[in-house]
């Protein structure tokens, strides 16, 4: 029963880390509810879209006929905003942002008409980043392996916290999950999404890649201590502390970005 409870607690902690990291990241859609002076009760504004697909949908749901407009321009180009009306159909205002090349970004603003006049839905312009389509046979293992890595990391930490020695195979398994998820399927995911497999140290400043590298370096001494049957509690706690700190950083910060003027993808933006 104690083991079951520890695994359950580990799962809940891992899921919390995953939700927090995703929801606080710059690619998570902006959502809202009722807009005063109108029939609008919900809106969803995307910040991550797929290149070449007409899926970058700006959606504003309304109980009654509504009107609005959207302004957009390519990010960091200094171009003037292009203003387009939102279409109203089936109880919603909507517009599909024009697809961009992988790592391309659009800056946009959404305005709706209310009884008080025109209202902007967000306090500042939003930025939507586009990515290439990633095959499911690459993306799914990447997500599952990184979740298992964090799950086992939490479980190992809880074991150490209760003063029990770690199961000998659990640390190698955790390290293997990180290697496969972060250094095999992770670069493959990024290659399909943005055209470059690794943009972290020493080739670039991509924060996601550098966070993965930092976790690898943190778990190496813990793995060595366990395999050599040396005292490992300190190294395991340190490895988990680094892992937890990494997972508290929002996902996709300082990622790949298309420089429209140079026509090339840069990182650390």
pLDDT in tens, 167-201: 668 999 999 999 999 999 999 999 999 988 888 88
- Max Cα-Cα span within the chain: 72
- Among the residue ranges 29-38, 111-120, 240-249, 256-265, the one predicted with the least confidence is 256-265
| pLDDT value of position 263 | 80
Band (pLDDT 50/70/90 cuts) for residue 264 is confident
Q: What is the pLDDT of residues 59-86, one digit of tens each?
A: 999 999 999 999 999 999 999 999 999 9
Mean pLDDT of the chain: 91
| pLDDT value of position 164 | 67
- Among the residue ranges 52-56, 124-128, 175-179, 210-214, the one predicted with the least confidence is 52-56
What is the DSSP annotation of the chain? Answer: -HHHHHHHHHHHHHHHHHHHHHHTSTTSPEEE---TTSSEEEEEE-SEEETTSS--EEEEEESS---EEEEEEETTS-PPPEEEEPEE-SSEEEEEPPP--TT-EEEEEEEEEETTEEEESSSS-EEEEEE----HHHHHHHHHHHHHHHHHHHHHHHHHHTTPPPPTTHHHHHHHHHHHHHHTHHHHHHHHHHS-S--STTT---HHHHHHHHHHHHHHHHHHHHHTT---HHHHHHHHHHHHHHHTSPTTTT--EEETTTTEEES--
| pLDDT value of position 108 | 98
| pLDDT value of position 167 | 65
pLDDT at 269 over 60: no
Segment 95-122 shows an average pLDDT of: 94
pLDDT at 2 over 80: no
Band (pLDDT 50/70/90 cuts) for residue 116 is confident
| pLDDT value of position 268 | 59
Band (pLDDT 50/70/90 cuts) for residue 229 is confident
| Residue intervals in the chain for CATH 2.60.40.1220 | 33-131
pLDDT at 165 over 70: no
| pLDDT value of position 176 | 97
189: nearest Cα among 137, 238, 243, 119? 137
Separation between Cα atoms, residue 118 and residue 102, nearest integer Å? 33
| pLDDT value of position 52 | 77
pLDDT above 90 coverage of the chain, percent: 69
95: nearest Cα among 112, 117, 75, 116? 112
pLDDT at 30 over 70: yes
Global pTM reads 0.88
Question: For the structural domain made of 33-131, what CATH number should be given?
Answer: 2.60.40.1220
Contact 45, 23 (CB under 8 A): no
């Amino acid at each position: 029963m104690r083991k079951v409870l520890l695994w359950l607690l580990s799962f809940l902690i891992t899921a919390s880390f995953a939700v927090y990291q995703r929801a606080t990241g710059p690619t998570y859609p902006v959502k809202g509810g009722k807009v005063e002076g109108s029939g609008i009760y919900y809106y969803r504004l995307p910040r991550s879209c797929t290149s070449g697909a007409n899926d970058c949908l700006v959606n504003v749901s309304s109980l009654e006929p509504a009107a609005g407009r959207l302004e957009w321009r390519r990010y960091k180009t200094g171009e003037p905003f292009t203003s387009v009306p939102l279409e109203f159909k089936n109880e919603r205002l909507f517009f599909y942002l024009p697809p961009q090349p992988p790592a391309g970004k659009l800056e946009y603003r959404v305005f709706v008409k209310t009884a008080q006049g025109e209202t902007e839905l967000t306090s500042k312009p939003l930025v939507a980043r586009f990515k290439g389509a990633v095959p499911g046979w690459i993306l799914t293992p990447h997500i599952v392996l990184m979740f298992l890595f964090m799950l086992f990391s939490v479980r190992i930490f809880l074991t150490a916290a209760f003063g029990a020695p770690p199961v000998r195979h659990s640390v190698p398994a955790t390290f293997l999950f990180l290697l496969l998820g972060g250094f095999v399927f992770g670069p493959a995911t990024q290659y399909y999404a943005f055209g470059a497999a690794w943009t972290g140290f020493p080739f670039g400043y991509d924060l996601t890649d550098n966070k993965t590298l930092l976790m690898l370096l943190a778990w190496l001494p813990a793995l060595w201590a366990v395999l050599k049957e040396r005292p490992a509690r300190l190294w395991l706690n340190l490895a988990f502390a680094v892992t937890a700190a990494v997972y508290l950083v929002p996902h996709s910060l300082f990622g790949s970005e298309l420089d429209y003027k140079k026509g090339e993808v840069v990182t650390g933006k």
